[in-house]
Every structure is written in structure tokens, then in C-alpha cells.
Structure 1
Amino acid sequence: MLIREARPEDRPFIEEIARLTWDGEDYLARVFDEWLGDNFYVLELDGRVIGTAKLTVLPGKVGWLEGLRVHPEYRGRGYGRLLHDFLLELGERLAEEGKIGALKFATYFLNRGSVSMAQKTGFHVKAKFFVFGAKTEGFQPEKPEKIEPELSDLTLGLIPVGWRFVGRSEEALEWIRENAHFYDFNGFRFLVSKKGATFTPLDVGLATLKAMLPAIAWVAEERGRESFDVMLPSGIKPLLPGLRRLGLTLWDETEEPNVLVFRKRLV
């Protein structure tokens, strides 16, 4: 058994793991080339890659943990915890080098394995969000205007960019410009990571969301997606009935925030 950096020849194994994760909707295969050489690791067993793990340095000296996967045939044997602990050790080394000061990651609230590992290894819930799903066919798509964001556009204290979350700062603004597209539609603004379909509205009232959803659907459709997700802060909980009337549905129809952002301080 060996944990090592991912290599180009690992692609078939990564594609297989992605195909068997989240009903084939996993993003891992799409970011494979981008992640190579950037703290992207695999767990190899008897010459076969059976797991993956990634640490991405985000603005604010944050080590973001992501891409932790174990092939379905090997789950329940402790390999996920092995990869998690490996990332913690890597984070400690990066902290000693002054490159990061904390570790963070986000997970779905029903991902009990990840939640349990977080709680056992010193992580605490830093923030909560709702992620909603919607079908593009439920809207009459309207084209928004792509713009360059300014710091004043970042109206949320913690900003979701896909399933990564960054704090509001000039450094974060530059990172968002590199990793996301920013749109304006009749004065209402939203962003989406360059390769994803999870959107972040920067205004979260019912009326503004109703106005933005056709534009969000347009961008999703342009990316060849039949559905899209919308990430909203936990404070919108009182708006849940209205959001459902707009065509947004919660995974598992929970009444509580279903995305948990964990943090572990290192220095």
C-alpha cells in the first residue's frame, strides 16, 4: 500500500472512481489534468489506485481538503481515514513552513463518514449553507452579462465558489477572478466556478433570486447541463417555502442547512 502523488497514467483509475461516485456526476475526472502536480495524491494498493486526496492552498493561508475518494469496492476498510490523516500530516508540514494557518473542507451533512472523521480529528463547524438543485427546463433562460468583479461585489462574508469557500478579501477577489465567472443580470449578480454548475447568488432575497434564476439557467444550459445547483447561506432558512415555489429543491428535503464547512486551526 502506498500514498503517492498522482501521475498522468492514473487517469483510467480516477475515471473509474468518478464514474462510480455520485451516480457518475463526480467532478474528479474533469479536474484531473488541472490537479496534477498540485498536492494531488492517490492511494495505490497492489498496483491499483483505489483512493484519492487533494490539498489546495486558498486565499488567507487556508489548506482546503477536497477530492477524498475511495473506490466503492474498498470502502469501509479504513482507507478514507488513512487518506484523511495523510492530508492532516501534509497540512501540519505546510503550516510549519508558514504556507497555511488552518485546514478547511466542506461536506454534505449526510456524509457521516466525513463528519465523524472531522469531529475526531479536531475540526469544528465554521459555517453552514443550503445547496439546492433545479432543472434548466423549469426556466425560460435569459442571457446575463459576464463582468469583472470588484471587492464591493463580494457581499457575503464567506463566499462559495463551487464547493470551495473563501473569505472576503482582495486576495480572494483575485483568486475568484482566476477560478470563477461572474455575471450581472439586471443589476443582480452571481458567480460560478469555471468548470462547475453550482452557482452562488450575491443577493439572496426571493425577488432577486426569482430574477436571477433564468440567467443562471442560461449559463448552465450553455455548459451543456440539464440541471444546476444553487448555494445559499444558512440565513435563508425562513425563505425555504418561497424558494421551493421558485423551482428549487433541497437534496433529501431537509429543513436544516445541508452543507457543513469545517475548520481546524493549525497555528
Structure 2
Amino acid sequence: MEPVIREAKPEDKPFIEEISRLTWGGEDYLARVFDEWIEDGDFYVLELDGRVIGTAKLTLLPNKVGWMEGLRVHPDYRGRGFGRMLHNFIVQRGRELVEEGKIEALEFATYFLNRESIAMAKKDGFSVIAKFFNLGAKVADFQPEEPSPTEFEMEDLGLGIIPLGWKFVHRSGEALKWLREKGEAYETGGFKFIATKDGITFTPLSAGLGCIRAMLPAMAWVAREKRREEFDLMLTSGMKPVLPGLKRLGLFLWDETEEPNVLVFRKRP
């Protein structure tokens, strides 16, 4: 049978959970967001011979951005063009949303070693608009200190593109509202940071080595409360000069590199 791309259904969950277990050493988030994505819509699966072997999602973000995410292919079916098929489908779906006036551009983020996605993006006319460092940390390496829940305003958002987990939004009033709804904000020692609601990834709203040092115990506290043993920080590429200092604080890169390991792409369909 020919492969078919269709909207995901609740009964697809066991297939998605299997793909998730076999991706990123079992650390993939796909299974955790399955129900949310089903409700949100524009969540698609690639089915072959009655089996779901791939996924892709298009999410509407502030400033009329169509965010491409969740592109996965089961390991047993990689290298056969299914990833390209899903990518092309989502790009075409983006064109339809542009025509409907719902979005103005497509964007996505990927890890710097995801060479297949990067090659497809460049071939299709996507350009890199931002680079970030994603660094890991272990809760056990810090003495967790409880931060205070807080609010943040536009003046707290110093970057033009602000990460929340692996989604990135352009600084605007609409983005501020979205970040408040989707994230959790904390303050410690006068420094603020945003956390994903699962306590996995943190975005410092104050840059600098000293600021990060002051916030790490509070981030570790939040991660521990969410029953996490490890957590991540998403830092702007401007932090490259202090990368050695960040490592001395206990942060680490999953793959050794001196360059930013997260790339954000954009294209106007």
C-alpha cells in the first residue's frame, strides 16, 4: 500500500508512544504532548500498511507564525524518504494557511546535528534567523533554593526572539501574553526566569555568568518539584564567550561543540 498522511486520531497514541520511546534515547516529548496536540489540531501522522510510522505538527504562534514541530519517523523506516514526505506536507499546509491569512511565515527549530532536517530546510529556502545554546544540568549538582513566583513585562524581554522550551516567539505584546500563558515565571535574588510547565527547560531573563550562577539553585528547585532529575537552559548565542564559565558552573552540552547547538529557521511560503 502507498503511505498516507492524515490527521492524527486518539487511537494513534500507542504508535506515537512507540516512536517516542525510540527517539532521543526515550527522552522524546511527543508522548507527553499527544493529547494536547490532538485537541489543538494540525497534527498529522504518516500511515503505512495500517501502522503509524511518522508524525508532524503545525502550531500557530504569535505574530502569524506557523511553527513546524514533531517531525518524527520510526527508526525502522528512516532513510526511505518519509521524513521529506512529511516535511513537504507541512510546508504545503503552511502555504494554505498563508492564503487563508492565518500565518505569514513558517518557522522551526532543530538541533545542530540534525543534518537531514537542516539540509531539507536550506534546500527549501529556509534561513537561520537565530542561534541558541541548549545546556543541560543535573538537579543533584545544586543546593535547590525555592524562588518566588513572579510576573514579567515587556521590558524584561531583552531578546528579539524568546525561547520557551523548543518554541521561539518574536518579541511583541502578543508574544508576551503567550509566554505568560504557556510558561511559569520565577524570581530569585532580583533575577527572573521563565520555565516550561513541565520544569524541563528554563529561559533566563537576565544574561551574564553571574546571573546564571544566581539562578541555577532556583531552577534546580523548580525542576525537583516537577520530579525531574535533569533540566535544560536555553541561552542566546551571545553567551558563547562565557561558555567555559558556564561549564564550570555544572552545565554541560550533550555533544561537545563551541558553536550554538540550536538553530531557528524561517521561511515565507
TM class by shorter-chain length?
A: over 0.9
In the alignment, what sits opposite 1:118?
121
Pairwise mapping of residues 250-265 of structure 1 onto structure 2 (< 5 A)?
250-265=253-268
| 1:149 Cα deviation from its structure 2 partner | 2.1
**Counterparts of 1:30 and 1:49 in 2: how far apart (Å)?**
17
Does residue 55 of structure 2 align to residue 52 of structure 1?
A: yes
In the alignment, what sits opposite 1:17?
19
Does residue 102 of structure 2 align to residue 99 of structure 1?
A: yes
In the alignment, what sits opposite 1:39?
42
Matched-pair contact (CA < 8 Å) for 2:139–2:230: yes
Q: How large is the RMSD of aligned CA atoms in angstroms? A: 0.8
Q: Residues 108-156 of structure 1, C-alpha deviation per residue, up to 9 Å, x if partnerless?
A: 0000011011011110111101110110000000011112222222122
Q: TM-score, normalised by structure 2?
A: 0.97
Q: Residues 96-118 of structure 1, C-alpha deviation per residue, up to 9 Å, x if partnerless?
A: 00100000000000000110110
| DSSP-derived class of the 1:117 partner | helix
Within the candidate set 10, 29, 32, 1:30 is matched to: 32
**Counterparts of 2:50 and 2:185 in 1: how far apart (Å)?**
43
**Counterparts of 1:196 and 1:64 in 2: how far apart (Å)?**
22
| 1:17 Cα deviation from its structure 2 partner | 0.4
| 1:196 Cα deviation from its structure 2 partner | 4.8
**Counterparts of 1:235 and 1:154 in 2: how far apart (Å)?**
15
List structure 1 segments (4+ residues) > 2 angstroms apart after TM superposition: none
In the alignment, what sits opposite 2:187?
184
Matched-pair contact (CA < 8 Å) for 1:206–1:242: yes
Match for 1:262: what amino acid? F
Match for 1:48: what amino acid? R
Matched-pair contact (CA < 8 Å) for 2:151–2:185: yes
Q: Unaligned stretches of 5+ in structure 2?
A: none
Does residue 72 of structure 2 align to residue 72 of structure 1?
A: no
Match for 2:22: what amino acid? L
Does residue 236 of structure 2 align to residue 233 of structure 1?
A: yes
* Bigger mean CA deviation after superposition, 195-204 or 15-24: 195-204
| DSSP-derived class of the 1:128 partner | strand
| DSSP-derived class of the 2:11 partner | helix
Matched pairs, number: 266
In the alignment, what sits opposite 2:214?
211
| DSSP-derived class of the 1:143 partner | coil
**Counterparts of 2:180 and 2:203 in 1: how far apart (Å)?**
14
In the alignment, what sits opposite 1:157?
160
| 1:54 Cα deviation from its structure 2 partner | 0.2
Within the candidate set 149, 174, 178, 1:146 is matched to: 149
| DSSP-derived class of the 2:32 partner | coil
Matched-pair contact (CA < 8 Å) for 2:199–2:228: no
Q: Residues 141-187 of structure 1, C-alpha deviation per residue, up to 9 Å, x if partnerless?
A: 00111122222221221100000000111100111111111111111
Q: Unaligned stretches of 5+ in structure 1?
A: none
**Counterparts of 2:257 and 2:80 in 1: how far apart (Å)?**
30
Matched-pair contact (CA < 8 Å) for 1:162–1:196: no
**Counterparts of 2:152 and 2:205 in 1: how far apart (Å)?**
11
**Counterparts of 2:198 and 2:107 in 1: how far apart (Å)?**
21
**Counterparts of 2:131 and 2:154 in 1: how far apart (Å)?**
23
Matched-pair contact (CA < 8 Å) for 1:128–1:234: yes
**Counterparts of 1:235 and 1:172 in 2: how far apart (Å)?**
22
Matched-pair contact (CA < 8 Å) for 1:81–1:117: yes
Q: TM-score, normalised by structure 1?
A: 0.98
**Counterparts of 1:146 and 1:56 in 2: how far apart (Å)?**
28
| 1:195 Cα deviation from its structure 2 partner | 2.7
Identical columns (%): 68
